[in-house]
Structure 1
């Protein structure tokens, strides 16, 4: 196993120093542990040259920053980051080993592990961000919605804008025999589940999946027909009239504002405050074969996430400049900055402060909570991707197969020992059980407790629950 020359020299100097101090009797056991604990816990990387994939979205930022700021190199890793054509290609390339890991939809490791779509055991030890998505509708749909929306004293729409205000428009489409089409990025994407959640909360049925019947359209019994559109193609597809609205991450909602073709009407922060978004996924086989490499990757990305949120988002302008480069997101600086720097523009000129629209480190954003995984599994069950009832224990066991806070904790402890991070910046690893406290900030007022997934499903008027089956 080869270590690059500077790192080899550093390790050799450190080893010789410790040996000399021990021989001289000047190094106590506790001092020895302090000096060498991180190296003792995490050995040299099994694989140094790595290739990671991403989709052109601003929430790939931890990968870009870990690369640009040298955090990967600090861990003895030589990384390439490469944009992928779509989420399926990205997942397939992680599974077949063309990619060592990737920026993934949170539902991808879960869906693959339970065999929805592609069957493969994918794990995640790092959550990449909170929030970051929005729902946009065409100008025509917005004009038809506006009479239904309450206004504030200044005549601006009162937020959050609920799907209740879209329902009369969809009813008109149905009466005219016209389909109401909306785009989302992938069947197991956060965007799919957030869009479905928002629609159902307004009495609009987003449709069911029935994989056991060979129907993976997700459009059975649907009032609004949801289909897959790759994120960068969302604005053009909307402009062409193929879809009437979409749910996507940035910068593709703000792009609709800049192009004058649509209006972002709600952010996912308003649908579910501080919801988990992307994860960094690797195959379980890769993780087993490269445990030190994996830990070092997580360490680098934790540091990148902290940098992105540091100084009250003071580093965001620099991050926006990096992301605007063609090798990363490749959108105009102003488009990315419109959401990345703490604001979000809805209707043209209606720019509002949303400081937590993108969160990369605050609120323990990087910690892979089991309860986050369980929420995604409940939505898979709700919409038929999981076709039969499962006991609560199944949800919990599946979450633990895929989400790996144990790996995260080891990486974080190493950073703490090295003096790069403070223990106070992380959950208390000695007491943390992997479940967030019951969460109440959903647009429909329903409380989510990850300890009771089936009870949670019973609270919804629209969606499968109990022994329901399509």
Structure 2
């Protein structure tokens, strides 16, 4: 069955009662710092290598208070912690996290200016620049927020039939032919691309051989529970939540598809970035420091997990968050392992750089799967979206290193090497495509 996703709108499946998208009161910063100190993990501004506020004279942010839209996922953590820890105040801004229901809402509130920035899927933001997944909008990525740590899960029902990984899934699909349904979170987004690449590597065409639906991350487990899909691709903690609830099993991690892949970015509109460069630098610097704090110790990860588990943010149990942020994985079937390539927010400064090759990779996949009818100007789009100079200035303010190149090289799960040098040839090189 051919199932090209409908791009403009994300459908609204039944809501998960355990995943409210209502707002709520943010934890008080002073109370958080008192608790952290009492727990032996006190946070000191000086420990992050910046002596004081970076907000004077011509460097002063143009806008002092900014709203950042986020989806209830573990990887919203650096945005949330920049606010909770008061790192934003160091740079003369106040970050107000705004909890949103789904990626379509994230898009709409960013495009219409209701939110100043968004924790947004990399592929989704790049897609807007070329007019797919929403109205064509000139957008900007100030930094990459995180890498790795997403997942592909299979329903407990088909796991019991023998499908627990890609090889056994393909075998089951051949032995028991029918319409298999898989969910992702937004048609141009990262979770769709990880799912499609994973299936495509085994000769399964996601545009022709299976049915693909769109489900918002917080509603994924509820939809899996009532049997709406055979598998799904989503960010944490929803894969682990599915395991804890006995709904699904772990089939693959996104780092199995592409080790050290980019995931969410700090997105805004080009108009906002052009009018408020100091604000962009200040917000990015605060989030860089927050990511560094999270990655610095297991104690900090524990405190982060406790914080973002609250109803105001992810609204789940800390137990659904903490293991995978520590690299402790299990597949829901008795297998346990430690994954050194778990979700990272800073990783000694390697995570946050807005590589041009990262942006153009998503465009190659959009072309591969027929979301783009023709090859775009890969380099031109990447340069327009990724505000590299703004990032470098923010990194300097936060004391973070920057790489020597705007391109990087990676080998993906099928052995193909992506280095950004010839995106057109790369996009055309796949045997399985739309």
Cα distance in 1 between the residues matched to 2:244 and 2:226 = 16
Shift of 1:144: 2.5
Q: Deviations over 1:40-84 (max 9, x none)?
A: 785211111221110000000111110111111111212211110
Which of the residues 387, 408, 422 maps onto 1:452?
422
Alignment pair present for 1:439 and 2:410: yes
Change (3 A) 1:142 1:42: farther
Which of the residues 149, 157, 162 maps onto 1:145?
162
Cα distance in 2 between the residues matched to 1:247 and 1:296 = 33
Any runs of at least 4 consecutive aligned residues in structure 1 with deviations exceeding 4 A, and if so which? 35-42
Q: Deviations over 1:206-237 (max 9, x none)?
A: 00xxxxxxxxxxxxxx1111110011111111
CA contact (8 A) 2:55 2:92 kept: no
Q: Which residue of 1 aligns with 2:236?
A: 250
Q: Which residue of 2 aligns with 1:231?
A: 217
Q: Which residue of 2 aligns with 1:412?
A: 395
Cα distance in 2 between the residues matched to 1:139 and 1:42 = 57
Q: Which residue of 2 aligns with 1:100?
A: 116
Q: Which residue of 1 aligns with 2:125?
A: 109
Q: Which residue of 1 aligns with 2:317?
A: 332
Change (3 A) 1:253 1:36: closer
User: SS where residue 162 of structure 2 aligns?
Assistant: helix
Change (3 A) 1:42 1:446: farther
CA contact (8 A) 2:53 2:89 kept: no
Q: Which residue of 1 aligns with 2:332?
A: 347
Which of the residues 356, 369, 376 maps onto 2:341?
356
Cα distance in 2 between the residues matched to 1:173 and 1:287 = 52
User: SS where residue 410 of structure 2 aligns?
Assistant: coil
Q: Deviations over 1:370-416 (max 9, x none)?
A: 000011000000001111234xxx1011100101111100111223x
- Whichever structure has more helix as a proportion of its residues is 1
CA contact (8 A) 1:309 1:361 kept: yes
User: SS where residue 368 of structure 1 aligns?
Assistant: coil
User: SS where residue 253 of structure 1 aligns?
Assistant: helix
Alignment pair present for 1:321 and 2:311: no
Deviates more, 1:105-114 or 1:53-62: 105-114
Structure 2 gap segments, 5+ residues each:
1-50
Q: Deviations over 1:163-201 (max 9, x none)?
A: 232112223443xxx311010000111110110000010
CA contact (8 A) 2:54 2:90 kept: no
Which of the residues 374, 383, 403 maps onto 2:386?
403
Alignment pair present for 1:381 and 2:367: yes
**TM-score (normalizing by structure 1):** 0.78
Q: Which has the higher contact order (CA 8 A, sep 6+)?
A: 2
Q: Which residue of 1 aligns with 2:265?
A: 279
Aligned residues: 383
Shift of 1:433: 3.1
Q: Which residue of 1 aligns with 2:41?
A: none
Matches for 1:38-187 after TM superposition, within 5 Å? 43-116=59-132, 117-146=134-163, 161=165, 163-174=166-177, 178-187=178-187
**TM-score (normalizing by structure 2):** 0.84
Deviates more, 1:198-207 or 1:74-83: 74-83
CA contact (8 A) 1:234 1:252 kept: yes
Q: Which residue of 1 aligns with 2:19?
A: none
Structure 1 gap segments, 5+ residues each:
1-34, 150-160, 208-221, 416-420, 465-470
CA contact (8 A) 1:55 1:87 kept: yes
Shift of 1:143: 2.4
Matches for 1:267-306 after TM superposition, within 5 Å? 267-306=253-292
Deviates more, 1:55-64 or 1:289-298: 289-298
CA contact (8 A) 1:170 1:223 kept: no
Cα distance in 1 between the residues matched to 2:162 and 2:108 = 40
Q: CA RMSD in A?
A: 2.0
User: SS where residue 359 of structure 1 aligns?
Assistant: coil
Q: Deviations over 1:289-327 (max 9, x none)?
A: 11111110011011011111113x441111111111111
